[in-house]
Amino acid sequence: MNFDGIWTPVVTPFAQDGAIQLDTLGKVIDTLLDQGVHGLIIGGTTGEYYALGKDERKRVLDFVSGHAKGRIPIMAGINATTTEESLELGRHAKAARFDAILVAAPYYCQPTQEELLTHVQRIDDALDMPAMLYNFPDRTGTPMSLEFIEALRDRPNFQAIKESTGSIERMHALANEFTDQLQLSCGMDDQVLEFFVWGARSWVGGASNFLAPEHVALYQACVIDQDFVAGRKLAARLLPMLNLLEQGGKFCQYIKYGCELAGLPVGPARAPLMPLSEAEKGSFQRTYDALVQHRG
């Protein structure tokens, strides 16, 4: 499995009453394909998987497989609070012909490293699918230690890692010590240039839901053309938006508002997340307008 490119963790569109809008999801996917992203992740944090019931998650997986399969690689996020539920979602994704799975630490229960290792080994044994690890301890409460990663060397299905700690030191370790084991994917948007400089060829970027052309252009400059002067200019344009998303405290709401400004409304985030204030919308729109006015 090649995880190169821009992987979009796709939003889940909701109506005002909270119902999932599959027709809108189809439009989002078609737009992303037209704009040149390289893969789709369904059931990631940006998709608010934690706010969906298990049956809703399965319904979204089925829809995306039917709508996108064969046109673009698709990856299923299968994280849950228990191993059994992750396995159930993973089996459903495999039956729906997903190409890979995204595996994070179960959230809230905070497993030890030994327990986390057993968890992912059980997933691998049961599913036998290409997998991207997702290390985001600020969300899950549990880090994926370097020793944990080392213990997976004999598990070839674990082929990539989305690294979202924000630690440059750890990114260096992954880039220098584990390249024979895992493909490094940027999961900290405001450090994307640093990831590309250190050899990452993959970026899982939530803002690509509404800024796909800029994401694809940055990937092209840094990874394909190896032109880091051009890449730095592109990254500098993106940085105010990426800083706002990473540090603004309302990531999902901002991503969805970005989709609205891009001409494809996807509805609100589910409670307990609340709508943006008018001041927050205004600040975001100014940042968005300053960025997209340079398109073309």
Nearest by Cα to 103 from 88, 73, 124 = 124
C-alpha closest to that of 123 among 146, 143, 106 = 106
Closest by CA to 147, choosing from 179, 117, 172, is 117
Q: Is 233 part of the annotated catalytic residue set? A: no
| C-alpha to C-alpha distances, 12 to 50, 100, 122, 132, 156, nearest whole angstrom | 11, 19, 28, 21, 31
SS3 111: coil
Single-letter code of the amino acid located at 51: A
Indicate which residue of 49, 54, 58, 134 is catalytic: 134
DSSP conformation class of 220 = I
Question: Which residues contact residue 95 at a Cβ distance below 8 angstroms, ignoring those fewer than 6 apart?
Answer: none
Q: Are 171 and 198 in contact (CB under 8 A)?
A: yes
Residue 282 tokens read as 């205004």
Reply yes or no on whether 58 is catalytic: no
Residue 83 CB contacts under 8 Å (≥ 6 apart), including other chains:
106, 119, 122, 123
- φ/ψ of 141, rounded to 5, equals 90, -5
The residue annotated as part of the active site, out of 162, 250, 256, 257, is 162
Residue carrying the six token digits 């084991």: 181
Tally of residues, the chain: 296
Q: Are strands 5-9 and 39-42 parallel, antiparallel or unpaired?
A: parallel
| Cα–Cα distance for residue pair 187/241, rounded to 1 Å | 15
Hey, which residues are catalytic here?
Answer: 134, 162
